[in-house]
Structure 1
Amino acid sequence: MSYQRLSPDERRAQILDVARRMFTELPYSEVSTAAIARETGVQRGLIHYYFGTKRELFLKVVQKLAASAALQVPPVDERLTLPEAVELCVNLFLDTAERNATTWFAALDAEGFGQDPELLRIVNRFRDEAVEHMLTVLRVEPTETLRAVLRTYSGLADAATRQWLQEKTLDREQVHTLLARTLLTMVSEIAPELEGTADPALD
């Protein structure tokens, strides 16, 4: 890429876009700041000036990924039934996973530099925000028990998308069926039972 004169904010955004693409296409260990600099058309020192080390740049990429995924949550639609809201949640998750699979799995595994506390903090905060978004879309009463159930569900969602996008043992339709039916059951049956209350709709 030939050099272009850009403002500092534009240059930072350009570097982040290139880094995100490279971290998405390649394992963390195979990406270098020198390669990112070549792709961006800048000196390697500029990467370090704006972002520091490769680790810090990767953390910024994951942080931006989490923020952009959070923005995909649509306005609440009061007309949706619970099963329809579940379908919407699952489709949003699968769309995001498909666009960002390699980067997200690298973040979950902390691939390349071990269990990094800052990376885990970003991932856990994203999980917490995803749970709150699900509660909003599903229009169910938030309780700590239900939040815990949905956190457990997020682990299943990660494992299922690995089978689809990495292992190739399931296709998207199969993963959708698995996640949608499980989420509906967790919200309508399992969580109420754990709360010690019965769901009148199931009587």
Structure 2
Amino acid sequence: MNTGASAQRRRLEPDQRRGEILSAARRLFSRASYSMVSTSDIARESGAARGLINHYFGNKRQLYLEVVRQMMVIPESVAENLPRTTVEERLALCVDRWLDVVERNRDVWLLALGSEAMGPDSDIEQVMLEADEAAADLVLEAAMMSDVVDGREELRAMIRSYGSMLKAASREWLLRGTLTRGDLHILLTQSALHLLRTVFPAVRGNRADQR
């Protein structure tokens, strides 16, 4: 009877097992290079059978891509339940929440940034494109500009470009120590506001002048 109960619990917990494997992979990939980490290492670290890794993720590369995706795609929680207040306060809160995520996952964030810099890789590039689009959605939501129609594509392009600056600035904070978390919060919040309030209207005006 106990054996049956245990089997039932295992059947009901696939998400938990998948999460354990993903957490183990994050830890190992943050300590060593991709080539130095084996599927057997991940199985041992997670306490899961090697076959379960293939079942949930396919192979080591797909698991690695999921680790990068999980870190680079900004979680929806960053923009959840924002107060109906000023755009500046909403953006500042989003930036603060995002910095919390990065600070808690410092090694994995740097791992993900390193993956982006490793050279051409269509799978990594696809993950980064997904992350950029998610970030654009988040900024527009925080700025209460999700319904912008005129110039929408230009605006999203600018926000994606802002995302590249965000990644570079995070390296200054986490690796070089040239910026504090407070410095980064000001830089990211004020840069986003400047982009939305000054740069975007200027670009729209320039487009109108060229017609």
Query: CA shift at 1:189, angstroms?
Result: 0.9
Query: CA shift at 1:129, angstroms?
Result: 1.1
More helix as a share of residues: 2
Instruction: Tell me, yes or no, if the aligned pair for 1:89 and 1:137 is still in contact at 8 Å.
Output: yes
Instruction: Tell me, yes or no, if the aligned pair for 1:90 and 1:176 is still in contact at 8 Å.
Output: yes
Quick one: structure 1 residues 51 and 86, their matched pair in 2 at CA, closer, same or farther if it must change by over 3 Å? closer
Give the TM-score taking structure 1 as reference length: 0.80
| Long gaps (5+) in structure 1 | 198-203
Where do 1:26-175 residues align within 5 Å? 26-66=32-72, 69-78=75-84, 80-110=85-115, 114-140=119-145, 142=148, 143-175=152-184
Give the whole-Å Cα distance in 2 for the aligned partners of 1:172 and 1:113.
Answer: 26
The AA in structure 2 aligned to 1:73 is A
Give the whole-Å Cα distance in 2 for the aligned partners of 1:45 and 1:87.
Answer: 44
1:87-110 Cα shifts (integer Å, max 9, x gaps): 122212212222233333333442
Q: Which of 193, 205, 208 lines up with 1:184 in the alignment?
A: 193
Deviates more, 1:136-145 or 1:19-28: 19-28
The AA in structure 1 aligned to 2:158 is V
Partner of 1:201: none
| Long gaps (5+) in structure 2 | 1-5, 207-211
Partner of 2:23: 17
Give the whole-Å Cα distance in 2 for the aligned partners of 1:112 and 1:153.
Answer: 17
Give the whole-Å Cα distance in 2 for the aligned partners of 1:128 and 1:111.
Answer: 16
The AA in structure 2 aligned to 1:162 is R
Secondary structure at the residue paired with 2:134?
helix
Partner of 2:209: none
Calculate the aligned-residue CA RMSD, in Å.
2.7
Give the TM-score taking structure 2 as reference length: 0.77
Query: CA shift at 1:25, angstroms?
Result: 4.3
Identity %: 36
Give the whole-Å Cα distance in 2 for the aligned partners of 1:49 and 1:82.
Answer: 44
Give the whole-Å Cα distance in 2 for the aligned partners of 1:22 and 1:112.
Answer: 19
Give the whole-Å Cα distance in 1 for the aligned partners of 2:119 and 2:37.
Answer: 16
Give the whole-Å Cα distance in 1 for the aligned partners of 2:40 and 2:175.
Answer: 27
Query: CA shift at 1:150, angstroms?
Result: 1.0
Query: CA shift at 1:60, angstroms?
Result: 2.1
